[in-house]
Amino acid sequence: MNVLIVHAHPERTSLTHRLAEISAEVLKAQGHQVTESDLYAMGWKAVFDAQDFPERANHQRLSFIEESGHAFSNGCQTADVEAEQRKVLDADALILVFPLWWFGMPAIMKGWIDRVWAFGLAYGYKGAGNAYRYGEGGLAGKRALLAVSAGGPAEDYAPRGINGPLEQLLFPITHGTLFFPGMQVLPTFAVYGSGHLDAGRMAETADAWRSRVERLFEDAPIAFRPQNGGDYPDRHVLADHIQPTQSGLTVHIANGDPPCEAQVANFAPARCGRSEGPERRHS
């Protein structure tokens, strides 16, 4: 199998880099082919702007959907975007490793998504609008796994914690960015208090991450409801008979909340629904 590891942290001694290194070590030992994108080392251009479209379809007004579709379908994207798209398309699985900064991924990784997830590939697939999304699309059949580190304590992300559960904070990434174009997304691997790991906790974290990576092609994905599986009769709104008294993000997961394994790897007390801290920038 081919696996693409994309990671984002400027400090080479960071936990993010260590988790990326462990990923590559484990996968290569299993006989997989590994490709990496170290976004800071690459000097990745994070800003999605007119420079991404060297051959414009419309010089009067910049429409990102129009220009992205034109560039992708006509082979006139920038070289860096094309190279990353080839990595993604060649991969059977994608691992994203990043620190949680202000409740999301670092800007450089968000910029990688913005530029690489082109119209015609990650959305607008086959020129069919939204016909192929949420379980179907240009990246269907691939697996995805997040490894997220945070400086804050797990208590902040308990079911009633002040920051909210991690899997709900990451829903725009797991469900929106990854499941939308068809990827099967595994429960998130989370590390809490990442700025204060002693040698013992670092060893435990490394062992737990090795175990998760070893099971990359075995673990069950989060049971997000597919758009075209019958739960959304009009392809927009969940059917009235499904969890009729509930609303919010978790109704789009067929078996309720994401598996507890998403939060077990934090080495704080293993309580379902725990998650990472967004405010610490040294993870």
Comparing 92-101, 179-188, 199-208, 262-271, the range with the smallest average pLDDT is 262-271
Binned at pLDDT 50, 70 and 90, residue 224 comes out as very high
- pLDDT at site 197: 83
Instruction: Write the pLDDT tens digit of every residue in 12-32.
Output: 999 999 999 999 999 999 999
184-185 and 189-191 beta bridge pairing: unpaired
Instruction: Write the pLDDT tens digit of every residue in 43-80.
Output: 999 999 999 999 999 999 999 999 999 999 999 999 99
Binned at pLDDT 50, 70 and 90, residue 7 comes out as very high
Binned at pLDDT 50, 70 and 90, residue 113 comes out as very high
Checking if the pLDDT of 131 tops 80, the result is yes
- pLDDT at site 262: 40
pLDDT cut 70: percent of the chain above it: 90
pTM: 0.90
- pLDDT at site 47: 98
Query: How far apart (Å, rounded) are the C-alpha atoms in residues 126 and 157?
Result: 39
Sign of CA dihedral 50, 52, 53, 58: negative
Closest CA to 16 of 190, 140, 165: 190
Checking if the pLDDT of 155 tops 80, the result is yes
Quick check: 71 and 115 in contact, CB under 8 A? no
- Residue of 258 and 250 predicted with greater confidence: 250
Checking if the pLDDT of 282 tops 60, the result is no
Checking if the pLDDT of 198 tops 70, the result is yes
Query: How far apart (Å, rounded) are the C-alpha atoms in residues 186 and 190?
Result: 12
SS3 content of the chain, % helix, strand, coil (to 5): 35, 15, 50
- Segment 124-135 shows an average pLDDT of 96
pLDDT, the chain, mean:
90
